[in-house]
């Protein structure tokens, strides 16, 4: 088989850094696992910083003009109750926003956990469940702490029941979809397949967040904060899983067999 762990996007990006005069020698002195850890920690730190920065601006009330401008730009100037675009677009946005709803994400998480248990990965299943449950609890605690009112500038496109910042839909869709996307990507050796899984997970997260703004149920900074914190949480949990797998305390991901297009049979290594 020609597959090699360095074909991943992460390792491809790190190889480019090796050409940098100062960074290259430093990277050469650490193992692949250490490189991955450093890269993920860097992303987590950046995402947490973005969240803290947005939260600070929200508390100071400095985002009001930007939030209002974006919400009004998505509405008919003569009728704020009418979102821009044809009627089918508003209906589609309601469908998209349901992808980040508690019921849908809970059902999806349970199905994935059951699948992991069926494939004898009980510890991995528990880690997925705990990561999603922890992200949900963190989202609710922050909502109560910030206690930001929902937008009252335009009529809401659907019913809402909780505080506004950070957006629970944006945060939890990032937690669930990015976590599952990363798990699926680790079952594949080909870079383009990894890109597909991770790109699809990111696209779903973005679509859910945009739908919340379009429907007028969240300020744009609510969604931005939810995205940042959700991505940071998902990557932190993913890093924990990698560390536990390295210690043998969580089952590793099983690689799927590659298939030849001609006979649809698992490829065999050729001499």
Pick the catalytic residue: 4, 11, 156, 169? 169
Q: Which of 167, 263, 146 is nearest to 215 (CA)?
A: 167
Pick the catalytic residue: 4, 11, 123, 218? 218
Answer whether the bond into residue 166 is a cis peptide, omega within 30°.
yes
Known catalytic residue at 156:
no
Q: Which of 139, 135, 142, 140 is nearest to 238 (CA)?
A: 135
Q: How far, in Å, CA of 209 to CA of 47, rounded? A: 16
Strand partners, 76: 79
Q: Which of 166, 187, 182, 184 is nearest to 230 (CA)?
A: 166
Q: Which two tokens stand for residue 224?
A: 């931005």
Known catalytic residue at 123:
no
Q: Which two tokens stand for residue 225?
A: 């904060």
3-state helix, strand, coil split of the chain in percent (to 5) is 65, 5, 30
| Alpha-carbon distances, residue 207 vs 52, 214, 218, 226 (angstroms) | 23, 10, 14, 13
Positions marked active-site: 169, 218
């Amino acid at each position: 088989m020609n597959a090699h762990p360095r074909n991943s996007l992460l390792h491809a990006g790190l190889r480019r850094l090796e050409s940098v005069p100062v960074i290259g020698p430093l990277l050469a002195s650490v193992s692949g696992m250490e490189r991955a850890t450093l890269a993920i920690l860097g992303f987590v730190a950046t995402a947490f910083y973005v969240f803290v920065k947005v939260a600070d601006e929200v508390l100071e009330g400095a985002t009001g003009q930007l939030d209002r401008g974006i919400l009004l730009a998505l509405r008919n100037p003569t009728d704020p109750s009418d979102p821009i675009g044809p009627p089918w677009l508003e209906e589609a946005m309601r469908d998209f926003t349901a992808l980040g709803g508690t019921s849908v994400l809970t059902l999806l998480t349970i199905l994935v956990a059951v699948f992991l248990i069926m494939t004898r990965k009980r510890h991995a299943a528990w880690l997925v469940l705990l990561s999603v449950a922890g992200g949900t609890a963190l989202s609710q605690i922050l909502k109560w702490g910030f206690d930001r009112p929902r937008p009252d500038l335009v009529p809401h496109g659907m019913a809402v029941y909780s505080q506004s910042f950070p957006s629970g839909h944006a945060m939890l869709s990032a937690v669930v979809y990015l976590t599952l996307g990363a798990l699926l990507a680790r079952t594949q050796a080909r870079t383009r397949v990894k890109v597909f899984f991770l790109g699809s997970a990111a696209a779903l997260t973005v679509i859910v967040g945009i739908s919340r703004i379009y429907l007028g149920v969240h300020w744009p900074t609510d969604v931005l904060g939810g995205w940042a914190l959700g991505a940071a949480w998902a990557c932190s949990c993913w890093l924990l899983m990698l560390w536990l797998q390295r210690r043998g305390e969580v089952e590793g991901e099983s690689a799927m067999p590659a298939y030849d297009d001609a006979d649809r049979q698992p490829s065999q290594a050729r001499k």
